[in-house]
Amino acid sequence: MTVKLVCFGDSFADGKNDDTWISRLAIQHNWDRECFGLGGTGPIYAIEKFFEYVQSGQDFDIAIFCWSEPSRLHHPKVRDLNTHTSQYIPKNKTKDEIAVYEASGQYLKHFYRRDIGQLQLSGVLRWFDNYLKENFSDKLFFHFQCFNSSLKWMPGDEENFSPKDVKNWFLLHLFESGITAYPPLLYLSINDPNFVEFGDEYDRGRHGHLGAEQHILLAKLLSDYITDISRNPNWKTITISDNAGKIQHLYESFSGTWIPDLETFYQIQKK
């Protein structure tokens, strides 16, 4: 019987092109695949698409989630509401859509709190994790975080993505329903030896913001894990170390810090 792979998330979950890590993994094993990654969307969109998928009666064997930042807002029609689009509204939008983008910008400017947003997303992920564990215990899940929660970033401020600034890692949730991959995908992206800057011209040759070699090696990482899982069923984390631009997989304990509560969050931020 053919294995079915599905993926959900933002632009990092873009598996529509055959050269992406998600597609390479499916093609290598001759699996069927469906990708619901959509650039600019947030975590709630990923959860919504998952429920739409399973409630329509469709089945799967392996699911990959790429969890984006909590500041990305959710709207039933305008999907890509984030810190960038709220400032630089995409072209060719209707009057009603422009109003939504403008409203999202006002909300993010005057009401959104980054620390509370992260705690809220942490709670949502814990709830969703329990749901997956209770209802899909026979499935294999991989959970990637797209952005590093300890970094402060706005479009045009790419210097904050320097690897030297990435110190106190922390992720929003350690999933019990499947495998938590670490570090965030953004860290891999900026450690691509060919990385220059973010933007349409740059990303045109880098599907899902990753370099060609990174796609190949990340697909191999997951393939190796799936091959070994029968011998190591208790692994819960995958550590992806970047060595001269190459992704290596290490089955080790997470070396960073999780975000269990607001007090811990503030202690980390003060370091």
| pTM listed for this prediction | 0.85
One pLDDT digit (tens) per residue for the chain, 271 residues:
789 999 999 999 988 889 999 999 999 999 999 999 999 999 999 999 999 999 999 999 999 999 999 999 999 999 999 998 999 999 999 999 999 999 999 999 999 988 788 889 989 999 999 999 999 999 999 999 888 655 554 444 545 545 444 444 556 788 889 888 877 888 778 777 777 666 554 556 678 888 888 898 889 888 888 887 655 555 566 766 555 445 554 444 444 444 444 444 445 455 5
CB of 155 closer than 8 Å to CB of 108 = no
Phi, psi for residue 14 in degrees, rounded to 5? -70, 110
Cα→Cα distances 251→170, 173, 179, 219, 226, Å: 18, 18, 11, 16, 13
**Residue with token string 């979950």:** 13
